[in-house]
Structure 1
């Protein structure tokens, strides 16, 4: 990753799971990582790994257009990893306005600031497989139209379309990521299936499953996700104006995820099927052929190996909570 050495890289959402792992990779590569944070959470991977000592932390909010412009200008940003967003489907249902402000307005603010900068050479924007909406045709391929019926899904399809519009209209070096479900150390959203199941296993409690337990997803380890971001930044010459799918190739139901987590932890995890989920798509999986061919990217971790790298982090977190 020599190409990142001494580069000024702006990471939004740096204290989230994905942002913190991207920031860690940048610090290891010798980049000058400028990390956007809204508040200091000592439980986060970012602070747990002392990334605040290896990166420049800047406080701010994506909804503040002036702040985004100031950061990108002041630090002479060359690469932008726009990972920050309101990432929870349920939260988008209860507060769609805040979700659209963070995900849609926030993206426009970052892109506008980049458009007015002469220094920015690469922008990688996080969309999602949810941007495709529900489709009878699977796997999703990048040439399929954007969709979405729920606020979260639409916020990501808007993010996606806006980003590619900036690339095509203004010739900006923008590439878009569409990841499946992501798991790994640092995810503090315990209503998600993987961290929720791990904590249920640690605490010896049953896990509430909001769906019917049969919804199918791909689960990609966060280290593979960080690889995807780095690959796109490095390959922006051939990636600009394009969107890329990234997935694991492993399709699992929610109940299968819980079973595999229990097996990895050496115990059976009980479940309660609530079947109350709204706005969720029954089955989603991605074709990643484009990323493999153009970027040379492929996942390094299957689900079992990924859990081996993930569960110890949550055990340590639980130990700190009890202390």
Structure 2
């Protein structure tokens, strides 16, 4: 199989002309040029054309630049309001894991493999946190522990403030099942579900942090859904499935209710958005608020 050659770079005007040649309707070329001067062609066109044209083909009839622009703007605003919900889950989980683990195993208990299920994964975890500690060595509280405490060790309650959500998820995943069960029950969730939820939420958090696409996206880290959702044919490879999980972790929170209201307004504001591509059923609002 022969390898492809990279395409040559295009000027903004050439980008617009190329889109027109692909049957995309552009009523205001200057606005399109201004938009493409701020948002890269690759980030915008490649991601938000999915489903609006066949691969390497022309756009379907009546598809416009404005439609793609709306999808991009919706995705950006949706990502921003969702990130605030994930932030609450993340900060809360850092607290609950460190509180429980420090009380049971000591503030440096994370250093010892017998406190975890898998020695190999524990070694990988220690390597990850070593990198994070070195990266954050000038952070005042890290500097203080490294220079003023025996062996320069960082207690877990401080360590959880610098490790990524992904690393936190791996820490939880490698804990003994009995420990995972106790932590998960503080959320009234079985640990087998909870484990998959935080792994998936961590994955979504990274998409949000790197300004990625949630609209019409198929997820690679998927949560295990309750039967009440699978009976409704809610898919765990679309973002709505993850929202169903987050709902249980922020239950009875007025901020979650406000999130759902904001999301409803976004759907009203951006008429080109197809909720089906994100796994939203017709009664999505009722499901998220029950």
Q: TM-score, normalised by structure 1?
A: 0.21
Which has more helix, going by share of residues? 2
